[in-house]
Amino acid sequence: MKKRSVLMILLALLMVLVLVACGNGNDNGDDNGVENGVENGAEDPADDDEAAEEELPVMTMAEVAENDGLDGARAYVVVEGIVYDVTDSPRWVDGNHNGNQAGQDLTDEILGDSPHGRSVLDRFEPIGRIEE
Ligand code: HEM
């Protein structure tokens, strides 16, 4: 009888140890899951771009029109709903660039008429967005 009791107690202790070990294992698994979730979320560059654009202040076309680069005004251009400040570009003196005046939406012109396309805008920080 005594031997059996000791054996039972040892068995019970073993089971407790196994349960505790499994519990820790699960915790680690959960932590990894959360970390991976965060990493995956930050890894998608398209999501980042969209999120960054949404955080830009909303501007009106009237505000953009006031910034046509003439009479000392700053030079803003709108391409695909995003406002860029091109004032500091030596190619936009007085807000004019190859016949294109700042202060307006130049999406059609940059995509249709320019030799460079929209890639040149990567050199400029977007400063706002036009709400659709
Ligand atoms: C329609 C005729 C156009 C011509 C012939 C033209 C031509 C050029 C050329 C030769 C450059 C220099 C190339 C370079 O820096 O990589 C340039 C730069 C640039 N263009 Fe145009 N472009 C035109 C229209 C436009 C339009 C409609 C926009 C509208 C936003 C635009 C925005 C820019 C910008 C932001 C730069 C870069 C300026 C800088 O880095 O300082 N262009 N363009």
Please identify, by atom number, the ligand 1 atom nearest to the C-alpha of residue 109: 27
pLDDT of residue 92: 98
Q: How many residues does the chain have?
A: 132
C-alpha radius of gyration, the chain, whole number: 31
Q: What pLDDT band is residue 69 in, cutting at 50, 70 and 90?
A: very high
Identify the residues whose C-beta falls under 6 Å from ligand 1.
Answer: 77, 79, 86, 89-91, 97-98, 100, 106, 109-110, 113-116, 120-121, 123
Which of these, 96, 100, 122, lies nearest to 109 by C-alpha position? 100
Residue among 120, 121, 123, 127 whose CB has most ligand 1 atoms within 8 A, to mutate: 120
pTM of the model: 0.73
Pairing of strands 82-85, 126-130: antiparallel
Q: What is the pLDDT of residue 83?
A: 98
Sheet (strand 104-105) strand order: 58-59, 126-130, 82-85, 76-79, 104-105
- The helix/strand/coil state of 31 is helix
